[in-house]
Chain A
Amino acid sequence: MTNVYITVGATIPFDRMIDALFDGPLDILLKQFSSYGKHSDPINIVAQCGATYSELFEKNVYSKLEIPKHSKTEFYNQSMLDTKEIRSVSFISKFCQVNISFFNLSSSLNEFLKEFRPVIVISHAGTGSLLDAMANKCQDNGIIVAVVNDSLMNNHQLEIGEKLESHGLVTCCRNISELSRLIQSEGLESNNKTSTKINTSGMKLQRGFSSDFNSDVFLF
Chain B
Amino acid sequence: MLKILETYKNTICESQIAILYSETNSLVRFKKQFSHLKTVKYFAIGKARQVGAGKFKSAISIIETIISIIKILFVNKDFFIFDHRSTLLLLNGPGSCVLLSAIFQIVKFITFKNYCSLRVVYVESLARCNNLSMTGVFIYFLNLSDEFIVQWPELCSTYPFSKYYGFLV
Residues on A facing B (Cβ under 8 Å): 10-11, 107, 127-128, 131, 153, 156-157, 159-160, 163, 205-210, 212-214, 216-220
Closest Cβ neighbor of B32 among chain A residues: A107
| A107 x B3 contact (CB < 8 A) | no
Do A163 and B121 contact each other (CB < 8 Å), given the known contacts A107-B32, A157-B127, A210-B165? no
Do A212 and B165 contact each other (CB < 8 Å), given the known contacts A127-B125, A218-B11? yes
Contacts of B19 in A (CB 8 A): none
Contacts of B116 in A (CB 8 A): 220
Distance of B33 from chain A, by nearest CB (Å): 9
Contacts of A210 in B (CB 8 A): 165-166, 168
Distance of B166 from chain A, by nearest CB (Å): 3
| A214 x B11 contact (CB < 8 A) | yes
Q: Is B51 an interface residue (CB 8 A)?
A: yes
| B7 x A217 contact (CB < 8 A) | no
For B, the interface residue count at a CB cutoff of 8 angstroms equals 32
Q: Which of B96-116 contact A (CB under 8 A)?
A: 116
The complex places the Cα of A156 from the Cα of B132 at a distance, in Å, of 11
Q: Is B129 an interface residue (CB 8 A)?
A: yes
| A107 x B29 contact (CB < 8 A) | yes
The complex places the Cα of A127 from the Cα of B1 at a distance, in Å, of 12
| A217 x B163 contact (CB < 8 A) | yes
| B7 x A163 contact (CB < 8 A) | no
Q: Is B152 an interface residue (CB 8 A)?
A: yes
Closest Cβ neighbor of A207 among chain B residues: B167
Contacts of B51 in A (CB 8 A): 153
Contacts of A212 in B (CB 8 A): 165
Closest Cβ neighbor of A108 among chain B residues: B32
The complex places the Cα of A157 from the Cα of B167 at a distance, in Å, of 17
Contacts of B74 in A (CB 8 A): none
Contacts of B125 in A (CB 8 A): 127
Q: List 27 A-B contacts (CB under 8 A).
A: A10-B25, A107-B32, A127-B125, A131-B126, A153-B51, A157-B127, A159-B128, A159-B129, A159-B130, A160-B127, A163-B130, A205-B167, A206-B167, A207-B166, A208-B166, A208-B168, A208-B169, A210-B166, A213-B149, A213-B165, A213-B168, A214-B11, A217-B147, A218-B88, A218-B121, A219-B11, A220-B86
Contacts of A159 in B (CB 8 A): 127-130
The complex places the Cα of A170 from the Cα of B88 at a distance, in Å, of 35
| B169 x A207 contact (CB < 8 A) | yes
The complex places the Cα of A156 from the Cα of B169 at a distance, in Å, of 19
Nearest 3 pairs of A and B residues by beta carbon: A206-B166, A213-B165, A220-B86
Contacts of A214 in B (CB 8 A): 8, 11
Contacts of A213 in B (CB 8 A): 149, 165-166, 168
Contacts of A128 in B (CB 8 A): 3
| A160 x B8 contact (CB < 8 A) | no
Contacts of B152 in A (CB 8 A): 163
Closest Cβ neighbor of B90 among chain A residues: A218
Distance of A144 from chain B, by nearest CB (Å): 15
Contacts of A163 in B (CB 8 A): 129-130, 152
Closest Cβ neighbor of A163 among chain B residues: B129
Contacts of B52 in A (CB 8 A): 153
| B127 x A156 contact (CB < 8 A) | yes
Contacts of B128 in A (CB 8 A): 159
The complex places the Cα of A220 from the Cα of B149 at a distance, in Å, of 16
